[in-house]
Amino acid sequence: MKKVGVAILGLGVVGGGTYKILTEHEGYYRRTQDIDLVVESVLEPNRDRARALGVPEERIASNIAEVVCNPDVNIVVECIGGVTVAREYVLAALNVGKTVVTSNKELIAKYSHELERAAKRQNAGLYFEASCVGGVPIIRTLLDGLQGNRILTMTGIINGTTNFILTKMAQDGLSYEQALKEAQMLGYAEANPVADVEGFDAAYKLSILASLAFHTKVPYTKVFREGITELREEDIADGKRLGYTLKLLAIAKQEHGGIEVRVHPAFVKSTHPLASVGGSFNAVYLTGDCVGEIMLYGRGAGELPTGSAIVGDVIYAATHGESRYSTFKNNASAEKDTKFITDFKSAYYMRLTVDDEAGVLSRITSIFGRRNISMREVFQRKDEGTGKATLVIVTHETHELSVRSAVSKIEALPFASVESVLRVIA
């Protein structure tokens, strides 16, 4: 039976979950995978945390050199997070020929080109299933299940924090601030939630997934990004009235005109499979040219779901002798002939506050008409006693830049202000 030594860098939520899975399932992996996975070393500054998990004292390393110089360690699992120390430690492991498994989406999005070069030089492996969508095996599906397809579109809920917040706002009528506070209390959101609520986390993940799906480098800097901090209860209520559910979506499309990658809040029809994905769950809805539509669904975070993805990579690396690398030129930037679409097409929801008087709607309709924007649905409600009204408009599919131009023109009117603009996925 093949023995494989594993080192874990960082025993926080994900690292601790990985340690539990590896140690508690050791016998199961011997029986089902015919490999003996042994945690030979851990690097955790808080030695009490390591001891509490049952790590033997002699296996708690004091520095990265102890880990990478340990001849019994074959695979290094990075669960530190961030990009400074993690990058240094991962490169140290790869440079001595040790395979690396990581859950660090920011590290992979920003530095996979550098890490992969180091891995290739030493014929080491670099695996990162756990970097995207927690325990959902989206990367393995793209690499080993759907490789016979040309992936056409990918639409996903790939950040559990924002999905939890939007679910609480929709189901319990909470404000954004109230829902965020509850997410922080339950551990779904960090004390500083910017990476999640402003869409950075989802943008990193979409960069990784789109690169793999479309077989070309899609830098995270090419991802159009908007967060959820400006969303209001009125928008969610209006969406329900119109038959929509609001989600933070990651969208990638590959068309003849180029590649489209964007992260932003969007309404989806309440009958769409993604509309029912609630709480901290994640899902990715794919379309392949041969297989058609597929949706993967599951826990997007947590010690055991993410640990499951990490251990899956560990087992894959331990049972496959030849390392695999990107199917595209993995450079810091995109290939020169790769075109990215910025003036993408979508339907749009708009909520405006307007003076409650004749002629207002016709002026707004005229602005839309000059930009070839047609309206699909319109309703108005009076704000009693204020002389104002709320005007809600849903457009047919049109161009992003046309809508931005229309919004700018409407904002210049003395009798109207645009309170909200959201995209609608038809």
pLDDT tier at 101, thresholds 50, 70, 90? very high
123 & 159 share domain: no
Which residue, of 77, 110, 131, is where some domain finishes? 131
Residue 336 lies in a domain: no
Q: Given a cut of 80, is residue 226 above it in pLDDT? A: yes
282 & 421 share domain: no
Question: What average pLDDT does the chain have?
Answer: 95
Sequence-ordered list of residues with C-beta below 8 angstroms from that of 254, at least 6 positions apart, any chain? 150, 151, 152, 153, 213, 214, 260
Give me the pLDDT at residue 353, please: 95
H/E segment holding residue 152: strand 151-157
184 & 38 share domain: no
Which residue, of 96, 131, 166, is where some domain finishes? 131
Q: Given a cut of 90, is residue 65 above it in pLDDT? A: yes
Residue 330 lies in a domain: no
Q: Given a cut of 90, is residue 385 above it in pLDDT? A: no
74 & 41 share domain: yes
Give me the pLDDT at residue 255, please: 86
378 & 237 share domain: no
Q: Given a cut of 90, is residue 307 above it in pLDDT? A: yes
151 & 273 share domain: yes
152 & 281 share domain: yes
91 & 177 share domain: no
Specify burial of residue 412 (Cβ count, 10 A radius: 0-12, 13-18, 19+): exposed
pLDDT tier at 39, thresholds 50, 70, 90? very high
Q: Given a cut of 90, is residue 301 above it in pLDDT? A: no
Residue 144 lies in a domain: yes
Residue 385 or 107, more confident: 107
Residue 340 lies in a domain: no
Domain extent for 413:
345-425
Q: Rounded CA gap, 199 and 202, in Å? A: 5
pLDDT tier at 395, thresholds 50, 70, 90? very high
Residue 310 lies in a domain: no
pLDDT tier at 43, thresholds 50, 70, 90? very high
Rounded to 10°, the helix 85-95/105-121 angle is: 20
pLDDT tier at 236, thresholds 50, 70, 90? very high
22 & 124 share domain: yes
- Going from the C-alpha of 361 to that of each of 181, 372, 385, 415, 416, the distances in angstroms are 39, 16, 20, 11, 10
- Mean of the pLDDT values across residues 153-164? 96
The answer to whether the beta carbons of residues 282 and 157 sit under 8 Å apart is yes
Give me the pLDDT at residue 96, please: 97
Give me the pLDDT at residue 383, please: 83
pLDDT tens for 167-208 read: 999 999 999 999 999 999 988 888 899 999 999 999 999 999
Residue 92 lies in a domain: yes
The answer to whether the beta carbons of residues 42 and 61 sit under 8 Å apart is yes
Q: Given a cut of 90, is residue 390 above it in pLDDT? A: yes
Cβ atoms within 10 Å, residue 267? 28
177 & 293 share domain: yes
pLDDT tens for 329-368 read: 999 999 999 999 999 999 999 999 999 988 999 999 999 9
Give me the pLDDT at residue 300, please: 85
Rounded to 10°, the helix 26-33/13-24 angle is: 60
- Mean of the pLDDT values across residues 217-229? 97
Helices and strands (DSSP H and E) totals, the chain = 15, 17
Which residues are annotated as catalytic?
205
Domain with 368 in it: what CATH number? 3.30.70.260
Q: Given a cut of 80, is residue 159 above it in pLDDT? A: yes
359 & 285 share domain: no
268 & 190 share domain: yes
Minimum mean pLDDT range among 102-106, 187-191, 217-221: 187-191
Give me the pLDDT at residue 53, please: 95
The answer to whether the beta carbons of residues 90 and 131 sit under 8 Å apart is no
Which residue, of 235, 264, 299, is where some domain finishes? 299
Domain with 247 in it: what CATH number? 3.30.360.10
Q: Given a cut of 90, is residue 322 above it in pLDDT? A: no
Paired sense of beta strands 281-288 and 151-157, if any: antiparallel
Residue 328 lies in a domain: no
Q: How many domains does the chain have?
A: 3
Q: Rounded CA gap, 319 and 140, in Å? A: 15
- Mean of the pLDDT values across residues 93-117? 98
pLDDT tens for 247-286 read: 999 999 998 889 999 999 999 999 999 999 999 999 999 9
Domain with 86 in it: what CATH number? 3.40.50.720
Residue identified by tokens 């830098």 is: 219
Residue 67 lies in a domain: yes
Q: Given a cut of 90, is residue 56 above it in pLDDT? A: yes
- Mean of the pLDDT values across residues 81-91? 96
